[in-house]
Amino acid sequence: MENVVSLTPSKWVSESVLMAITGMKKNTIKTARELSWMEGREYKHVSADGAPRDNSMCFYDWKAIEKWIDRQPTAIPRRKSA
């Protein structure tokens, strides 16, 4: 008999957890962080010494990112060729 553990993500999650719960890919997350997301709202740099730098690990507010996904406009249909 196996034990099953169910975890509920906290507000701030690591990139690997964000990928697991949203299906986003690593490059999509990086691009969104550079072009769309605001530090302190969708993501934060964190460090053990309490003084994060630009190259410090990021944590993500997955609920804010879900709202960002919901606000995305509908895709423009592409013209299909014969």
- Can you tell me which residue has the tokens 């997955």? 62
Phi and psi at residue 20, to the nearest 5°:
-70, -40
pLDDT in tens, the chain (82 residues): 788 878 788 999 999 999 999 999 999 999 999 999 999 999 999 999 999 998 899 999 999 999 999 999 998 888 877 6
Cα(78)–Cα(12) distance, integer angstroms:
36
**Which uninterrupted H or E stretch holds 68?**
helix 62-70
Strand order of the β-sheet with 43-46 is 12-13, 57-61, 43-46
Handedness of CA 63, 64, 65, 66 (dihedral sign): positive
